[in-house]
C-alpha cells in the first residue's frame, strides 16, 4: 500500500536470544517490520512476548545478533562509534522505569536533553518550559524527583525524551503510570512530532483508549510479530463492508477481521476488473472512483449502470458458483478493496451461522 516512501527502519528476519549454551533462550524469532517517517505505531502483546527487547534492538541499546536491522537504508550492525552516537541522539527513549538524576530539578532534567543542541540558551529554556507545561508540570519546575509523585516523574522523563524533537521515538508503556487525560496529552505530543517533523514513533501500550492515535497497530506473541495493520484503510474497508448490508448482524470486530484480509488494488481508466464469462475468484468493494457494469457478453455488450464508492460487485458469481454475468470496467482511476473467494465464503458462512444462532435464540424464547 505504500510504494513511494522509504522506511526509516527496516527489519528483516530479526532474531534475538538471551544467554548462551544451555541457558540460551530465543525471545525474538524471524521478525519483519518497517517503520515509516510520519507514522505512529502502537505495539501490543502479552508480557514476555519480546516487545522491550525489540525496542532495545531498534534503539541500539543491544546489538543485533541475527537478521537485518536497517536505519535509513544502512545496516545498524555496521555503524561505527560515531555513527552510533549520532543515531542515538536522534532517538527519544521513554522507558518503563525512568531514571532521573536525584540532584536535578524537573526543569534541569528536561533542559539537559538540549545540552548537545546548538540552540541559544533562551530557546532551550523556553522549549523546556513549554513542554513541561504541556505535560501539566508548570507548578513543579523546581522540584527534584524525591518531591514528585511517580506519575510526575514519568512525565519529566517524557519531557526529557521529547524536548529535542527526536526523529525516532521509542516509548515503552509510557502512559502506564498516568491518568487518562495526561496519557492522552503524551500521545498528542508524540503525534504532533510525527506529523510536523515527520518523526517515527513506536509505542508499546496496553491502553486500548489510545488506539485511535495509531497509524498502524502491531501485535507481538511469543517473540513474533503476528499482525501488522495499517489502521485507516482497514477501518475504511470495514465501514464499507458494514454499510454494504451483505454481512448482517456482524460485530465491529468481525468486520475488521474481514477487512484485514482485503487487498487494496488500483486500476487505470479503461482497465477491466471483472470479465464476463470468467470464473468468480474475488469480491470487490469500491473505495474510490467509478466503474461501469456491462452485460450481454462480447456478442451484445451493453452498459447497464455504474457503481461508485461504497458499491460492491463480484459477489454473485461467488455465491451462485456461476460464471461472471457482467464485465466491470474502470471509468477513471479506481481503487477497490478485494476479498479472495475463500475469505468471502468464510465471512458469508459465519454471517449465516450468526443469523441461525439469532433465530434459534428467538425461537427458544417464544
Ligand X SMILES: Nc1ncnc2c1ncn2[C@@H]1O[C@H](COP(=O)(O)OP(=O)(O)O)[C@@H](O)[C@H]1O
253 touches, from Mg ion, ligand X, none (C-beta below 5 to 8 Å by class): none
Q: Least separation, in Å, of the C-beta of 64 and ligand X?
A: 15
- Does residue 263 sit in helix, strand or coil? strand
| 4 sits near ligand X (criterion: CB under 6 A) | no
Neighbours of 133 (CB within 10 A): 13
Q: Least separation, in Å, of the C-beta of 220 and ligand X?
A: 6
Q: Least separation, in Å, of the C-beta of 55 and Mg ion?
A: 8
d(CA 156, CA 336): 46
| 50 sits near ligand X (criterion: CB under 6 A) | yes
**Gyration radius of the chain's alpha carbons:** 26
Single residue of 52, 105, 167, 185 touching Mg ion by CB under 5 A = 52
Single residue of 51, 140, 282, 324 touching ligand X by CB under 6 A = 51
d(CA 188, CA 280): 46
287 touches, from ligand X, Mg ion, none (C-beta below 5 to 8 Å by class): none
Nearer to ligand X, 96 or 143 (CB): 96
d(CA 166, CA 159): 12
| 175 sits near Mg ion (criterion: CB under 5 A) | no
Nearer to Mg ion, 52 or 167 (CB): 52
| 134 sits near ligand X (criterion: CB under 6 A) | no
Bridge partners (DSSP) listed for residue 294: 303, 327
Spatial contact of 241 and 301, defined as CB atoms under 8 Å apart: no
How many of the chain's residues bind Mg ion (CB under 5 A)? 2
Q: Least separation, in Å, of the C-beta of 18 and ligand X?
A: 3
Question: Which is nearest to 209 in space by CA: 180, 189, 229?
Answer: 180
For Cα atoms 229, 232, 236, give the angle at the middle one, nearest 5 degrees: 110
Nearer to Mg ion, 11 or 307 (CB): 11
59 touches, from ligand X, Mg ion, none (C-beta below 5 to 8 Å by class): none
Please give the helix or strand (H or E) that residue 172 lies within, else none.
strand 168-172
Q: Least separation, in Å, of the C-beta of 178 and Mg ion?
A: 17
Nearer to Mg ion, 51 or 111 (CB): 51
Q: Cell 510526575 sits at which residue?
A: 152
Question: Which is nearest to 329 in space by CA: 239, 254, 255, 269?
Answer: 269
| 109 sits near Mg ion (criterion: CB under 5 A) | no
The dihedral over CA atoms of 286, 291, 297, 300, expressed in degrees to the nearest 10, equals 150
| 49 sits near ligand X (criterion: CB under 6 A) | yes
| 128 sits near Mg ion (criterion: CB under 5 A) | no
Residues 109-128 that bind ligand X (CB under 6 A): none
Question: Which is nearest to 41 in space by CA: 63, 58, 26?
Answer: 58
Nearer to ligand X, 45 or 159 (CB): 45
Residues near ligand X (CB under 6 A) are 18, 27, 45, 47-53
Amino acid at each position: 500500500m505504500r510504494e513511494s516512501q522509504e522506511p526509516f527502519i527496516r527489519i528483516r528476519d530479526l532474531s534475538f536470544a538471551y544467554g548462551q549454551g544451555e541457558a540460551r533462550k530465543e525471545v525474538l524469532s524471524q521478525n519483519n517490520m518497517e517503520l515509516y517517517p510520519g507514522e505512529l505505531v502502537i505495539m501490543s502483546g502479552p508480557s514476555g512476548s519480546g516487545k522491550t527487547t525489540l525496542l532495545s534492538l531498534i534503539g541500539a541499546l543491544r546489538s543485533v545478533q541475527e537478521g537485518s536491522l536497517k536505519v535509513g537504508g544502512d545496516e545498524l550492525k555496521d555503524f561505527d562509534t560515531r555513527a552510533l552516537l549520532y543515531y542515538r541522539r536522534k532517538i527519544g527513549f521513554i522507558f518503563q522505569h525512568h531514571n532521573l538524576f536525584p540532584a536535578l530539578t524537573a526543569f534541569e532534567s528536561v533542559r539537559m536533553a538540549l545540552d548537545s543542541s546548538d540552540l541559544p540558551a533562551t530557546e532551550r529554556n523556553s522549549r523546556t518550559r513549554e513542554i513541561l507545561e504541556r505535560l501539566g508540570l508548570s507548578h513543579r519546575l523546581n522540584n527534584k524527583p524525591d518531591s514528585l509523585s511517580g506519575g510526575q516523574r514519568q512525565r519529566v522523563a517524557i519531557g526529557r525524551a521529547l524536548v529535542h524533537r527526536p526523529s525516532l521515538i521509542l516509548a515503552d508503556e509510557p502512559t502506564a503510570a498516568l491518568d487518562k487525560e495526561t496519557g492522552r496529552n503524551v500521545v498528542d505530543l508524540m503525534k504532533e512530532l510525527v506529523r510536523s517533523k515527520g518523526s517515527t514513533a513506536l509505542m508499546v501500550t496496553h491502553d486500548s483508549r489510545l488506539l485511535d492515535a495509531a497509524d498502524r497497530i502491531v501485535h507481538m506473541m511469543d517473540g513474533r510479530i503476528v499482525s501488522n495493520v495499517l489502521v485507516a484503510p482497514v477501518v475504511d474497508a470495514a465501514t464499507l463492508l458494514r454499510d454494504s448490508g451483505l454481512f448482517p448482524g456482524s460485530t465491529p470486530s468481525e468486520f475488521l477481521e474481514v477487512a484485514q484480509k482485503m487487498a487494496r488494488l488500483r486500476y487505470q481508466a479503461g482497465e477491466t476488473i471483472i470479465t464476463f464469462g470468467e470464473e468468480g475468484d474475488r469480491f470487490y468493494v469500491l473505495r474510490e472512483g467509478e466503474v461501469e457494469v456491462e452485460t450481454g457478453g462480447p456478442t451484445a455488450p451493453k452498459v447497464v449502470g455504474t457503481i461508485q464508492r461504497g458499491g460492491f460487485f463480484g459477489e454473485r458469481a461467488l455465491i451462485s458458483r456461476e460464471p461472471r454475468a457482467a464485465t466491470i470496467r474502470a471509468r477513471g482511476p479506481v481503487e477497490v478493496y478485494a476479498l479472495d473467494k475463500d475469505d468471502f465464503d468464510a465471512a458469508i458462512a459465519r454471517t449465516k451461522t450468526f443469523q441461525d444462532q439469532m433465530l434459534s435464540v428467538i425461537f427458544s424464547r417464544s
